[in-house]
A and B are shown apart, each in its own frame.
Chain A
Amino acid sequence: MIPRHLVIAMGVLLAAALGLSIYAWHMRTVATTTPVASVDSRLLAPPIAGPTERIVLFVAHDDDGTLRGESALIPMPSGRQQRAEELLQALLSHYLDKSSPHVLGAGSEIRSVYLVDPGVAVIDVNAAFADTHRSGVLVEELTVTSLIQTVTVNTPGILKVKILVDGKERDTLAGHADLSSYYDVSAVNQLATELQPGQ
């Protein structure tokens, strides 16, 4: 004959197992039916380690079609390539804000910036950056000039810039601005001057 206390212990254990099963089933149902508010697809990166520096971001303004230099204080890493990436991330966060003077599409990212000697920078943006970009000669020109000018003014020694989309060459950004060729930094500098207010 099984002792009474063992029967009671077994019963309690079975009841606990059943209760946990029901609770796990309930939690699973809740997890699958509750919609996710938003997915942040940005790549996770370790926090920037380095002193805060004053840099110049060249920000496009759609209202008057100008490019304005705006100084900002951001922590900058020591590596040249990481600095270039951090500059463009700072610029992009500016453009992803809904109150930005030159809004870029949701999901736009700077995937990487490669600095290739001698003096060539490759900016790789994701497909959403180009696919959601507004079409037009001036609006595309402002984006391209803003990216290139921000990188090259704050990272000396770059002579040419190439823009890739998802690691591949694309003809245009959104139907107008040419992405098939290398940009000559001196020529872009001249364009940035033309795009300044009052020019």
Chain B
Amino acid sequence: MRWTSRIAKSSLLTPRTREKWGTRRLVSAGALILILALLSSGAGPEKHLAVYSVAANYSLPLLQRDGRNYVGLLELLEPLGRVSARTEGSHWRLRFNNLDGDFQAGKTRARVQNREADLGGKFLMENKRGLVPLGSLSSLLPRILGGPVSLHEEAGRLLIGSVATHFTASLAGDNPPRLVFHFTAPVNPTIATEPGALRMTFSREPVVGPASPTLTFGSKAIPSASYSESNGAAVVTVSSSVPVMATFGNDGRTIVVTGTAATAQNSAPSGSPTTAEPASAQAPPAATPAPATPPAARRYFAVVDASHGGDDHGETLSNSLLEKDVTVALARSLRQELESRGITTLVLRDSDANLPVDQRAVFANADHAAIYIALHAASSGRGVRVYTALLPFGDDDRGPFRSWTTAQHASLPLSQSTASAVASELQKRQIPVRSLIAPLRPLNNVTGPAIAVEVAPQGSDVNQLTAPDYQQLVTSAVATAIAASRDQLGGAP
């Protein structure tokens, strides 16, 4: 028998041989542990979720539980508003601004503002932290935040509100070959080059891809570009048969990928694998001088604020009509009118959500919007009133600081000229209009140009406020005036 003969053999070993075998075993075990440790450390980077919102861009670690990706809900909401949570037994109660949520450990459903929400997986509580499945965010967050979100689950990217930066790519010449990328907001990617490709990695910007992930250009030198997303970043890879380099222009809104026939000081030539620093760290290009500091992070030219919302109904216009509902409809109409004129627009409240006035101003200020437009509706009076902030005379700013209550001070002249332009455009369309100052928050808290537009019916029928024709008549006039003031507003602080 094999087993018995082996024992017999081992019993025949000398003590020195046994010692040698023991040492070998020890070394083998150590090597095995070392290999396992190396394998585990090389298992890939920690997965995380990149979050892009008007208020802040940040990333959170993703936790693997039961074969799913989970994320801490409190940590996710913290940068977006006032949030707190408390545990009561198996219940985890969330409060975000004025909204309440009730989650229960082990349950797949939760209650948000007294409405059921399906989480698509169990809610987990760990050390008083509330963890929700990553996939549940696409249905859960719109209820909590009151606006749309876009979850790219596989790539670990979450876009809150209309923050996405879109781009187009077009070939501008073939000798030398020039591929021009236009972005809807300033970008600052990390650029890496290697033989046959230039890769732009957008980890800080909410860049989203075109309809087709691969773009072809019919050029031998730069035949195509492709878009992909992974682990919280978007990557645009330009394939090329010649060495290429990238230059930045238009305050970070344009990236030009050029073949070697052209040279630029701040380019990253391909040929040997290199990684270029983001544009802000480079010298300005010779052709389009860029500022030494990073470009202003303006994502939207216009911020349209549908006033009121949630518990704040605004005026009860009729038995079945609330001001908060009319302002949302007006905001959507104005967004459409502005975007049709090439003006990037963010609607602050696109659903029936509570949004404190302070937070509305924070959103507008954080985005450095060129114009903030608050929308109101009223049953009294006729036509439209255009308001600018009522501010105390004199400037009470203290050195480098700005008073929150008079933050509008520096931009007030531009706000007033914009209000005049809007009023004049409304007059052209035979709509009765008045321009006034008003003690209306958050106009005084917005640092950039800011106006409020209060829409009343032209006659005595308050239902005209819901008529799409009337809404479009007003919003198209406002949009035309904003488009006409674009150059003036574009240079605003």
Contacts and interface: CB of A to CB of B under 8 A. Distances in A.
B427 to A, nearest CB: 15
B387 interface: yes
A176 B378 CA distance: 11
Interface in A139-186: 139, 141, 144, 171-172, 175-178, 180-181, 183-184, 186
Given A141-B436, A194-B437, A181 B380 contact: no
A195 interface: yes
Contact of A177 (B357, B385, B439): B439
Contact of A195 (B323, B357, B436, B441): B436
Nearest to B308: A175
Given A144-B439, A175-B314, A186-B393, A137 B452 contact: yes
A175 B312 contact: yes
Given A186-B392, A187-B392, A137 B312 contact: no
A65 interface: yes
Contacts of A171: 357, 441
Contact of B378 (A139, A188, A194): A139
A14 B74 CA distance: 82
Nearest to B312: A175
A48 B339 CA distance: 63
Contact of B436 (A139, A175, A191): A191
A171 to B, nearest CB: 8
B405 interface: yes
A187 B315 contact: no
Contacts of B73: none
A136 B405 contact: no
B152 interface: no
Contacts of A136: 315, 376, 378-381, 454
Contacts of B392: 184, 186-187
Contact of B440 (A139, A177, A187, A190): A177
B391 interface: yes
Nearest to B443: A178
A13 interface: no
A65 B440 contact: no
Contacts of B439: 141, 144, 177-178, 181, 183
Contact of A138 (B308, B312, B381): B381
Contacts of B357: 171
Which residue, A136, A141, A171, A194, has most C-beta atoms of chain B within 10 A? A136
B138 to A, nearest CB: 33
Interface in B440-493: 440-441, 444, 452, 454
A151 to B, nearest CB: 16
Contact of B315 (A175, A178, A190): A175
Interface in A65-92: 65
B316 interface: yes
Nearest to B434: A65
A25 B333 CA distance: 70
A134 interface: yes
Contact of B441 (A135, A139, A180, A190): A180
Nearest to A181: B405
B319 to A, nearest CB: 15
A176 B380 CA distance: 14
A97 interface: no
User: In terms of DSSP, what is the predominant structure of the interface of chain A?
Assistant: mixed
Which residue, A65, A138, A144, A186, has most C-beta atoms of chain B within 10 A? A138
Which residue, A134, A137, A177, A195, has most C-beta atoms of chain B within 10 A? A137
Interface in B336-388: 357, 376, 378-381, 385, 387
A178 B441 contact: yes
B437 A138 contact: no
Contacts of A141: 436, 438-440
A131 interface: no
A131 to B, nearest CB: 13
Contacts of A187: 390-393, 437
A166 to B, nearest CB: 20
Nearest to B435: A194
Which residue, B313, B315, B405, B444, has most C-beta atoms of chain A within 10 A? B315
A178 B315 CA distance: 15
Contacts of B381: 62, 65, 136, 138
B453 to A, nearest CB: 10
Nearest to A189: B393
Contacts of A172: 441
Contacts of A144: 439
Contacts of A175: 308, 312-315
Contacts of A139: 378, 380
Contacts of A177: 438-440
A76 B386 CA distance: 39
B385 A137 contact: yes
Nearest to B436: A194
Contacts of A138: 378, 380-381, 385, 436, 454
Contacts of B391: 184, 187
27 contacts: A62-B380, A65-B380, A65-B385, A134-B315, A135-B314, A136-B376, A136-B379, A136-B454, A137-B378, A137-B387, A138-B385, A138-B454, A141-B436, A144-B439, A171-B441, A175-B314, A177-B440, A178-B439, A180-B441, A181-B439, A183-B439, A184-B391, A186-B393, A187-B392, A188-B390, A191-B436, A195-B436
Q: Which 5 pairs between the two chains have the least Cβ-Cβ distance?
A: A184-B392, A135-B315, A136-B378, A178-B439, A186-B393
Given A138-B436, A175-B314, A190-B437, 10 more contacts: A62-B380, A62-B381, A65-B380, A136-B380, A137-B452, A176-B314, A178-B439, A181-B439, A183-B439, A184-B391
Interface of B: 308, 312-316, 323, 357, 376, 378-381, 385, 387, 390-393, 405, 434, 436-441, 444, 452, 454
Interface of A: 62, 65, 134-139, 141, 144, 171-172, 175-178, 180-181, 183-184, 186-188, 190-191, 194-195
